[in-house]
Amino acid sequence: MRARIARWLRTDGGFWLAFGALNALLFLPLYLLNRDAGPVPAGTERTLAGVDLLRRLFVWREGYDVFRLSLEFTLLAALAVFVSRVRGRLYRTLFLLLYLFALAYYIYEAATLTIYNVEPVFYNQVHLYGKGLPFLLRHLHLPPLIYIGGAIGLILGVAALAFLVWSLLDDRRLAGLSIWSRWGVGVATAFLLLNAAAYGAGLANPHRVVSSLAAKVRENVAASVTLRASASRIDDPAIRAAYDYGGRRLVERPDIYLIFVESYGSVLYKRPDYRILYTQLLDELEDQLAADGWRAATALSSSPTWGGGSWFAYTSTLFGLRVDNQPEYLALFAKYQGEEYPDLGRYLKSQGYDYNWLTSIATELSEGEWLQYRRFYGAEHWYRHRDLNYTGAEYSWGPAPPDQYALNYVREAIRQRTDDPFLLFFITQISHYPWTDLPPVVDDWRTLNQLQAQTSEVVDPDVMSHDVRRRNYMRAIDYELRFLVDAIRSEDEDAIFVLIGDHQPPRVSRRDDGWETPVHIISRDPRLLDQFVAAGFTPGLAVDDLEPDLRHEGFYSLFMRALLARYGERNVALPVYLPDGVIQPVPVAQH
């Protein structure tokens, strides 16, 4: 028996084990990154039988698993099986290099689909990761041993893959394959070629049972060419015509807080356990607001980004222009260094508002970079970590002071500096992934500015169980909303608070949860809120209909219309609401 097993491993067994391991490894990254995304939403299950079962087994499957076939990998292996003359060191080396490229691409595809919920586009991700990855590594402050260990791990990984490839393509093993193994390879090859003939470019889709690297790369390159052509096509005259509010004046000027709540997504409505906790929290907070005369109107808005890329969300909102990829963002960023974009902040500045921006994370940019951001967004006063006079414990991404401290400190600083009405932009930090440590909400925010130990042990999010990660996310949102309501209730003046999510939370939401985020307009002025209710918002902090009523790029024109209707001059035509923002020109295909 042992001799038979050993003989089998030297031929058929060794071949199929190496083949199965190498093939499955290509699909493993996408499976691992999505294995704990949560259950399939209720109502999508159905009994599979007959044609549906065959389709799921051999054509298309929702979700991700490793039981799929790579077209190119299988065909190259089949070539070595049936054509003995190609076997040899050169073929094995080329096979290994092509396999490493394929594995790198599948890892890249998995990361892009999982983190941002978008298809891989080289031209976008090169710009996105090229600057973002070094920033991320600087932020993590990893010790040198981590990088050394990573390099060693990479070398060992490549060596293990080389061993599997050499084992798969071993000449003696291939020569000794049984007729049944050869038939198996032949049937698999025929199955792959039929799929390629039937579906062609469709094999780029990660849900296909047969996957083609060539189709993926071809689709990626085509999308990159299109994006490159469109990224620089900024229709400045159309933007200035759409947002020409110069002839409309505000008679009353309440303070305005535009606060993006990090990772505040509609997943809170779409999972039963989240929905119960979340709606209970909203009911409690709405009662607290009402006790002090505050009212709210709420809608869901489709964000231009998913799971990350907050700057796409708030730039689209402030500019009234959909910005959903890094090349377009960088083109805007470059163009409006010398020119002023007619955004929400600049209009309010023209009406006598003091425009403030708060960035609380400890990681600092260079002075030149800060200046570029100030020119782009137009803020007059930019409060950074160094301006917050904070010496207490720091938390979450950045790291950063507690959001409760940062917001209240800057609000007080603005009022000490000026009596003018102000616009304050802030994106919270505590609800930023990984949600491993949270500060308390305190009665007096000043008490947070003390040297103190962290409130709990920080746990590596990558080894944290999914259930713990989901609970921590809910705790982070609970923190953000509680402190924000506390800040609103402590507001002495009539003011407008806009609380808006930037994108869905990574790791605890899935693609089926959609792109929507809550938007709350909170004010003591019922006539202002009536403007939003008339536009489709729901009175209160919660919504019942989970279909989005708004897009982030449509917020600017909607907000201006509501603001001018309530606080503008009478007998002046209201601006047009542009639900999709300003539509940019589509590039003409090149032939």
Q: Are residues 29 and 103 in the same domain?
A: yes
558 domain-assigned: no
Of 94, 101, 85, nearest in space to 166 by CA: 94
- Out of 195, 229, 263, a domain closes at 229
Q: Per residue in 211-223, pLDDT tens?
A: 999 999 999 999 9
CB 422 within 8 A of CB 384: no
378 domain-assigned: yes
Q: Which amino acid is at 404?
A: Q
430 domain-assigned: yes
Q: Are residues 280 and 352 in the same domain?
A: yes
Task: Determine the average pLDDT of the residues in 347-358.
Answer: 97
- Out of 229, 247, 279, a domain closes at 229
Strands (E), 262-380: 295-302, 354-358
**Residue 452 confidence (pLDDT) above 70:** no
Q: Is 495 helix (H, G, I), strand (E, B) or coil?
A: strand
Q: Are residues 179 and 296 in the same domain?
A: no
554 domain-assigned: no
For residue 40, name the pLDDT band (cuts at 50, 70, 90): very low
**Residue 286 confidence (pLDDT) above 80:** yes
292 domain-assigned: yes
Q: Look up the domain containing 468 and give its range.
A: 255-537
CB 574 within 8 A of CB 565: yes
What is the pLDDT, as a whole number, of residue 366? Answer: 84
Cα dihedral 16, 19, 20, 26, rounded to 10, equals: 180
Q: Are residues 314 and 211 in the same domain?
A: no
Share of the chain above pLDDT 70, in %: 91
Of residues 61 and 454, the one with the higher pLDDT is: 61
What is the pLDDT, as a whole number, of residue 10? Answer: 72
Of residues 396 and 401, the one with the higher pLDDT is: 401
Q: Are residues 299 and 356 in the same domain?
A: yes
Q: Which residues of 285-317 are buried (b: 16+ CB within 10 A; e: fewer)?
A: bbeebeeeebbbbbbbbbbbbbbbbbbbbbbbb
Of residues 124 and 454, the one with the higher pLDDT is: 124
Q: Are residues 268 and 204 in the same domain?
A: no
Q: Which two tokens stand for residue 163?
A: 């061993």
Q: Are residues 36 and 161 in the same domain?
A: yes
Q: Which residue's entry shows tokens 């050169």? A: 90
Q: Is 178 helix (H, G, I), strand (E, B) or coil?
A: coil
The CATH number covering residue 267 comes to 3.40.720.10
Q: Which two tokens stand for residue 432?
A: 């930023």
Q: Give the DSSP H/E element, type plus range, for residue 70.
A: strand 69-70
Q: Per residue in 287-324, pLDDT tens?
A: 999 999 999 999 999 999 999 999 999 999 999 999 99
Q: Are residues 361 and 225 in the same domain?
A: no
Strands (E), 456-532: 495-501, 516-523
Q: Is 340 helix (H, G, I), strand (E, B) or coil?
A: coil
DSSP 129-167: HHHHHHHHHHHHT--HHHHHHHHHHHHHHHHHHHHHHHH
Q: Which two tokens stand for residue 139?
A: 């932020």
**Residue 45 confidence (pLDDT) above 60:** no
Of residues 9 and 583, the one with the higher pLDDT is: 583
CB 554 within 8 A of CB 577: yes
- Any idea which of 60-69, 100-109, 374-383 has the lowest mean pLDDT? 60-69
Task: Determine the average pLDDT of the residues in 275-283.
Answer: 97
Query: Taking the CB of residue 183, how many other CB atoms lie within 10 A of it?
Result: 11
Q: Are residues 198 and 284 in the same domain?
A: no
Q: Are residues 128 and 186 in the same domain?
A: yes
Domain count for the chain: 2
- Any idea which of 104-108, 150-154, 340-344, 357-361 has the lowest mean pLDDT? 150-154
223 domain-assigned: yes
Distance CA 391, CA 389 (A): 7
Q: Are residues 354 and 468 in the same domain?
A: yes
Q: Are residues 217 and 141 in the same domain?
A: yes
Share of the chain above pLDDT 90, in %: 72
